[in-house]
Structure 1
Amino acid sequence: MLLKRIVFICCVLIAQNGLAQEHPNLILTKQGVNDIKAQLGNVPLFDATLAQVKEKVDAQILKGIDVPVPKDMAGGYTHEQHKLNYLTMQEAGVLYQILGDEKYAIYVRDMLMEYAKMFPGLPRHPQERSYARGKLFWQCLNDSVWLVYTSQAYDCVYNFLSKKEVKYIEKNLFKPMADFLSVDTPQFFNRIHNHSTWGNVAVGMIALVMDDDALVDRALYGIKDLKLDAGKDNDGGDIFVEGQKAGFLANLEEPFSPDGYYTEGAYYQRYAMYPFMIFGEALQNVKPEVKPFEHKNGVLLKGVDALMNLTDKDGEFFALNDSQKGMSYYTASLVSALDIAYYYGDRDPSLLSIAQEQGRVQLDQTGLAVAMDIRDGKAKPFDKKSLLLTDGADGDQGAISILRSTKNDDLTLVGKNAAQGLSHGHYDKLSISLFHEGNEVLQDYGLARFVNIEQKNGGGYLKENKTWAKQTIAHNTIVQDETSHFGGKYDVGSLHHSDMYVFDVENPDVQISSAKEVNAYPGTVMQRTTVMLNNESFEQPVLLDLMQVNSDKKHQFDLPFYYLGQVISTSFDYEKYQTLSTLGKDHGYQHLWKEGSGRSTTGDAALTWRSHDTFFTLTTTADAEDDLIFGRIGANDPEYNLRPDPVLIVRKNTDSALFASVLETHGSYNSVSEFSENAFSSISKLSVLKSGVDYSAIQITMMNGDEFVFIMSNSEASKTQKHELKLNAKVYTWTGVSYFKKQ
């Protein structure tokens, strides 16, 4: 009995002194470190990454420690220094574990001591721009990122520190910071948003290092019994929703669809994927009973796969919702996410090919596994195929459709037929964007922001993000009466989503995606059908685009096409204005210059432009009373915050219409030989045969005289349904949702 009491007391004392768990155990583990050390010099990609990190950290150590008093917005000196500090600490901690050189542990210790001295006296950040001001940074989001990385460094040097140092750092820095990010700033911590994910993970990561179960519980499930009035963040999004769940697991369940699509879009999914995956790895190492990679049927692993597919040929993410152009899976957060997904998933060899392209790995056991399997020749190509990614927690809030040409991988069409996308969402139901060889042909504008460029609003969102980038006219979709979808009101848009009508890619030569939107404008039904078509009559795959609108009364309908390139020719006459005026006064129209306009007398209109030494022709149906408007972004933009990109707008005044278009990719231009090949469209005529609620039909007449007819059943999507339709004295019969044949 006495022996049992002695053992019990010893266990209690061990726990109280923080020795109940070994370190490192968060991302790196003792076994992982041993495995890495045993392979050093034998795994080229891992060794190269380690050498690069060592060179970078050694250079920072020579510069000394700099922990300035916070004062700047994003892009400013203090902001960038604190960002550099957490990145360097994390890497120094890893180097200490792998190389065993105490200079790295000393660097981390001394840096942490400086922060521990400063933090207790820090007020909230002096920049008052955020709904949740941080202390080290202008917003709690960045403070959370700091803690996510710094907790990893702390775990790596924990056993190097004295008990006195551990107590001092935790008392003055980590525990107060965890409380600050959560109970002191609940409007930031207790919500469904990528901001909160970072906050939850920050608290959870440091809680795991400190072995604080109460904090871990707060991170996983949020602050319980919190009752606050609804508020708005800086982007107009709801902060509090009555009865809403909170915490890491809720942020894992609500924004992700069963397919792994994150409702804010690929840009923010990329950003949030690092905390999701790194905390998943930490939980797997420290609290495997949580089963993070099995949660919601393995949605984290599906999320990484979804992100890889939400990219163009060059690995750059599609600009869905708020998105900065050029962000790709080469970013460091996706290096970590991919390595973790590979290690804890089914070791998909196609992920290895992307890891090869990334050219570096995470310096832990997951990165070692990836690098070893690449070394051993296990990599296979990542095959991007046509794909439908549902939106909404249950996959019932529309979807993102991706059509990729199977003749070659040069042409990719993205359709946004999804939900609002939280506060980073745009009002662009049924919008499309098109890519060729990784270059934008029809662009989505993305966001209006210069991330981390201090001169541009401190690196934050510009006012033009709301007045332009979010508005419907900024996208390739229908605008009714110069008013954005849902009136541009977030609360209304958040209640609705588009619905997929059909997604059929079984026939590789006729791939179809069709979706409907019935709530954007009361009394108006919009249905957009896009077809990726391969046919020997066309030099390259072409896009058929049918936008059917039916309303209970007459409206002005505008369909913009944001083509990128230099105009070569048109098939219609137009006037280019000497004096510019804006297209409208609100809902984004105030930012468009009206450069010219024309009309067609032939029933269709063609615009040919050149981009990246390739020719593109958009042929669209246009009646004699329809306006064809040339516009350019940049009006009412005194600080040059917007890109001066061109647009062609097809305007119809009607209660029902079919906006039918065909987009061809053709020919080439060699700037060295100055030789132009196949610069002309192969289409001589595009006609609407039927426009209505039940059917949309077009006829394409080629220059060589060939004729094609495409018919879409708009109200019956069954594959077995038989149809019969009489058009121009000819009867068409078919089975299934669509008809396409050469006549």
Structure 2
Amino acid sequence: MELNKKAIISACLSVLLLGFVFSCKAQNETSSKNTQSSNSGGHPKLIITKAGVEKIRAELGNIPIFDATLKMAQEEVDAEIALGIDTPIPKDFSGGYTHVRHKRNFFMLEKAGLLYQILDDEKYAKYVKDMFFQYAAMYKDLPVHPQTRSYARGKLFWQCLNDSNWLVYASQGYDCIYEYLSPEERETLETDLFKPFADYISIENPQFYNRVHNHSTWGNAAVGMIALVMDDAELLHRALYGIENDGLDKNAKDNDGGFIKDPEGRAGFLANLEEPFSPDGYYTEGPYYQRYAMYPFLIFSEALNNVKPELKIFEHKDGVLLKAVDALLNLSDADGDFFPLNDGQKGMSYYSKELVTAVDIAYLHGGKNAGLLSIAEKQNRVLLDDSGLAIALGIKNGEAKPFEKKSVNLSDGPDGKQGGVAVLRNDDLEVVFKYAAQGLSHGHYDKLSFSMYENGQEVIQDYGLARFVNIEQKGGGNYLKENKTWAKQTIAHNTITQNGKSHFQGKYEIGSKHHSVLDFYDFSNDQIKVVSAHEANAYPGTILHRTMAVISDKDFEKPYVLDIMRVTSDKANQYDFPYYFLGQVMETNFKYQTPEVLKPLGAKHGYQHLFVEAQGQANQENVKLSWLNAGRFHTLTTVTDNQDEVFLTRIGAADPEFNLRKEPALMLRKSQTKDAVFASVIESHGSYSPVSENAVNSHSNITKIEVIHNDANYTAVSIMDLQGHSKVFIVSNKTASKEANHKLKIHDDTFQWTGSYYFK
């Protein structure tokens, strides 16, 4: 049924576009086959509209956040005008002068165009016009970029992705000065610059354009945006549906290891809207790339909504783009930084320009959610267009309300059936539990991994990507080889590595076929938030089952995290289970030896990048590690037996160029073990002030954790605090139904409950 629904939608859109083609031809028989000159409604019409310009001008001086944003843009563009136009011959990677200059130019083309419309000052239109003609003069003879690293080299930039960035922004500038230009000037620009530019990033680079990936989303939006300005129906069809008969193998892969097309061989903007997004708005590549892709998704959709409202783009896939904005905001910590799932640079946040665009457009077209106004207030700037005006008026009128982040479970996959990501929130603790699909070529091999935050500070970290974005000294600002040898590997994450090998052998073609499976989640109880999932394909013959809970307990200062990883296998294996804590070790309860010479933990699958700083044997039922970070104490207490090894490791081995952060971990190892349970509690407690030099509540409140029952049906863990109070958590390993009744006798106690788990 789902496929039929998609086919019907696609057919209807094709009919609408076909009608548009014939309409345009009828209006102008003398125009070329590919370019129409019909301008019904006039310009600007993409993002800022004629009606919007009138409303903005009427409100200027009376909308503080808009006025301040306008002033900043004017100062920036005026400085660039004074500096003069420079369109250098391209030669550099990201971070180099020519790259940065052309990137700045496309921002100026958009901003100057908007300033022309809002301020009605001809100097801004002339600046845009002069820059466009300078580009037109160079583009027709411009060779492919000299840097050969990319699978799809651009002309202005080293990759077509950045060329597409340029055209998305330039299209908006062109729309703003369209009526300032003469018909002859427009003909020159479209013939010498815009049409060849659009053809190059699409027809001449189908391996870039005709795929499902954030790269092609930018390409589709670029071609579509310039098509809408020029009323070019053929280009618009190409933007929405991709290139027909592109000669590409449906199963071909790019140099990132990602498949070029979706499983049904589709391409184009609508395919990119369908395949990577789940019905909940989660983008399978992860929040870092969701943030990056939201700009072309939303800016092109805004243009389509304004120029071709009959497509009802914001209703597509049950309004998934508007849901995606809400999902993305929920995938940020207390400071607004996005959780670094898959390839993700830490520190990227909802203060980015892409999220200013997302928040503004989602507010205008998503029912004017007052919570978005509070995010916009924090961002402290708006788009200089119709949606930015709507935000500014909402804030001015005092309509803002806090954007409330709650525990959420976001499904992954186009149908929401390929795992997902859960964020468990309680007080100011956040646990991010990843049981998602591979995440296309930006995915990591980290099934059932997690990270933990307290009030925006990382407590247990996910490494993120190995890249210094746009810093030329570090690999031209591109991905470093350590991204594959370390950041993507399983041992780099807080999950199980079996026999020293990454999940799916670290191979994309295997990992992309599988996803973890949700057993249940329950966020209905203020005292406990729980999620549970299993993974049966990371290692053939082995099932990983992880349950995580954030628990409030009156006997503890703060909520604590309960982590139960249950492993069952058809043979004995070595299991390595790290916790990448951040901070300074305070104390341990186990004996260890420190080597005089640091050596790597292993030779491959990421182990080559871990120094062993200490090694010991678990000598009691629980291993404890306490550390201090950002003025807070934390303690990990984990169940062990006397056969378990304990390692204190540090990232940074086999790293001669110092590309990796030198951060610590505690790693548990069970050798020659068939089935196992790793049960742990992570506490946040106390504080330390370097001003008063007082340490408060610096010790753990836990006396003992014990696995009191484990079989195919149930796993039970008891937690005893220093006061002698004991709590029991039991998870049903087979029956996850909320309605199921359970009865379990453990020693002399009988537990009865209804639902997926028991806690008392």
TM-score range, shorter chain: over 0.9
Q: Which residue of 2 aligns with 1:433?
A: 451
Q: 2-side partners of 1:416 and 1:733: how far apart?
A: 30
The amino acid of 1:687's aligned partner reads E
- The answer to whether residue 614 in structure 2 is matched with residue 596 in structure 1 is yes
* Aligned-residue RMSD, C-alpha: 1.3
- The answer to whether residue 365 in structure 2 is matched with residue 340 in structure 1 is no
- The answer to whether residue 529 in structure 2 is matched with residue 508 in structure 1 is no
- The answer to whether residue 556 in structure 2 is matched with residue 538 in structure 1 is yes
Q: 1-side partners of 2:161 and 2:442: how far apart?
A: 15
Q: Which residue of 1 aligns with 2:289?
A: 268
Structure 1's consecutive aligned runs of 4 or more residues displaced over 6 angstroms after TM superposition are 8-11
Deviations 1:291-343 (A, max 9, x none): 11000000000000101100000000001100000000000111011100100
Q: How does 1:575-586 map to 2 (within 5 A)?
A: 575-586=593-604
Q: Which residue of 2 aligns with 1:130?
A: 150
- The answer to whether residue 211 in structure 2 is matched with residue 191 in structure 1 is yes
Q: Which residue of 2 aligns with 1:472?
A: 490
Kept after mapping to 1: 8 A contact 2:261/2:267: no
SS at match of 1:580: coil
1:716 to 735, 743, 749: 735
Q: 2-side partners of 1:701 and 1:476: how far apart?
A: 25
1:94 to 101, 111, 114: 114
Q: 1-side partners of 2:713 and 2:167: how far apart?
A: 56
Q: 1-side partners of 2:37 and 2:575: how far apart?
A: 70
Q: 2-side partners of 1:279 and 1:599: how far apart?
A: 58
Q: Using the TM superposition, name which of 570-579 and 95-104 deviates more.
A: 570-579
- The answer to whether residue 378 in structure 2 is matched with residue 354 in structure 1 is no
- The answer to whether residue 318 in structure 2 is matched with residue 297 in structure 1 is yes
Deviations 1:377-423 (A, max 9, x none): 00000000000000000000011001000xx2x10000001100000
2:256 to 232, 235, 239: 235
Q: How does 1:50-129 map to 2 (within 5 A)?
A: 50-129=70-149
Q: 2-side partners of 1:362 and 1:574: how far apart?
A: 57
Kept after mapping to 1: 8 A contact 2:37/2:231: no
Q: Which residue of 2 aligns with 1:676?
A: 695
Kept after mapping to 2: 8 A contact 1:540/1:664: yes
- The answer to whether residue 157 in structure 2 is matched with residue 166 in structure 1 is no
Q: Which residue of 1 aligns with 2:52?
A: 32
SS at match of 2:669: strand
For the structure 1 residues 388 and 452, does the alpha-carbon distance in structure 2 shift closer, same or farther, using more than 3 Å as the test?
same
Shift of 1:20: 4.3
Q: 1-side partners of 2:751 and 2:326: how far apart?
A: 42
Q: Using the TM superposition, name which of 548-557 and 694-703 deviates more.
A: 694-703
- The answer to whether residue 731 in structure 2 is matched with residue 688 in structure 1 is no
Q: Which residue of 2 aligns with 1:329?
A: 350
The amino acid of 1:668's aligned partner reads S
Identity of aligned residues (%): 59
Shift of 1:488: 0.3
Shift of 1:533: 0.2
Shift of 1:16: 5.8
After TM superposition, the score normalised by the length of structure 2 is 0.95
- The answer to whether residue 636 in structure 2 is matched with residue 618 in structure 1 is yes
For the structure 1 residues 16 and 220, does the alpha-carbon distance in structure 2 shift closer, same or farther, using more than 3 Å as the test?
closer
Deviations 1:493-520 (A, max 9, x none): 0000001001011111111100000000
Q: Which residue of 1 aligns with 2:329?
A: 308
Q: 2-side partners of 1:145 and 1:342: how far apart?
A: 24
Shift of 1:228: 1.9
Kept after mapping to 1: 8 A contact 2:535/2:544: yes
Deviations 1:241-284 (A, max 9, x none): 67411000110000000000000000000000000000010001
Q: How does 1:393-472 map to 2 (within 5 A)?
A: 393-405=414-426, 408=427, 410-472=428-490
Q: 2-side partners of 1:425 and 1:454: how far apart?
A: 24
Q: Which residue of 2 aligns with 1:381?
A: 402
Q: 2-side partners of 1:340 and 1:184: how far apart?
A: 32
SS at match of 1:658: strand
1:202 to 217, 222, 232: 222
Q: 1-side partners of 2:344 and 2:710: how far apart?
A: 35
Q: 2-side partners of 1:19 and 1:537: how far apart?
A: 70
Q: 2-side partners of 1:730 and 1:379: how far apart?
A: 52
Kept after mapping to 2: 8 A contact 1:657/1:691: no
Q: How many residues align?
A: 731
The amino acid of 1:23's aligned partner reads H
For the structure 1 residues 216 and 10, does the alpha-carbon distance in structure 2 shift closer, same or farther, using more than 3 Å as the test?
closer
Deviations 1:216-255 (A, max 9, x none): 0000000113332344323221224674110001100000
The amino acid of 1:531's aligned partner reads A
Kept after mapping to 2: 8 A contact 1:391/1:418: yes
Shift of 1:710: 1.1
Kept after mapping to 2: 8 A contact 1:656/1:692: no
Q: 2-side partners of 1:738 and 1:91: how far apart?
A: 55
Q: 1-side partners of 2:262 and 2:73: how far apart?
A: 43
Q: Which residue of 1 aligns with 2:200?
A: 180
Q: 1-side partners of 2:643 and 2:40: how far apart?
A: 79
SS at match of 1:581: coil
SS at match of 1:732: strand
Q: Which residue of 2 aligns with 1:5?
A: none
The amino acid of 1:76's aligned partner reads G
Structure 2 gaps of 5+ residues are 1-24
1:725 to 722, 725, 744: 744
Q: 2-side partners of 1:702 and 1:17: how far apart?
A: 76
Q: 2-side partners of 1:246 and 1:428: how far apart?
A: 28
1:149 to 143, 160, 169: 169
Kept after mapping to 2: 8 A contact 1:72/1:138: yes
Q: 1-side partners of 2:402 and 2:141: how far apart?
A: 53
Q: 2-side partners of 1:26 and 1:359: how far apart?
A: 24
Q: Which residue of 1 aligns with 2:12?
A: none
Kept after mapping to 2: 8 A contact 1:548/1:692: no
Q: Which residue of 1 aligns with 2:682?
A: 663
For the structure 1 residues 241 and 438, does the alpha-carbon distance in structure 2 shift closer, same or farther, using more than 3 Å as the test?
closer
Q: 1-side partners of 2:332 and 2:384: how far apart?
A: 25
Shift of 1:134: 0.4
Q: Which residue of 2 aligns with 1:738?
A: 757
SS at match of 2:597: strand
After TM superposition, the score normalised by the length of structure 1 is 0.97
For the structure 1 residues 247 and 321, does the alpha-carbon distance in structure 2 shift closer, same or farther, using more than 3 Å as the test?
same
Q: Using the TM superposition, name which of 480-489 and 731-740 deviates more.
A: 731-740
For the structure 1 residues 716 and 19, does the alpha-carbon distance in structure 2 shift closer, same or farther, using more than 3 Å as the test?
closer
Kept after mapping to 1: 8 A contact 2:702/2:720: yes
SS at match of 2:571: strand
Q: 1-side partners of 2:102 and 2:356: how far apart?
A: 22
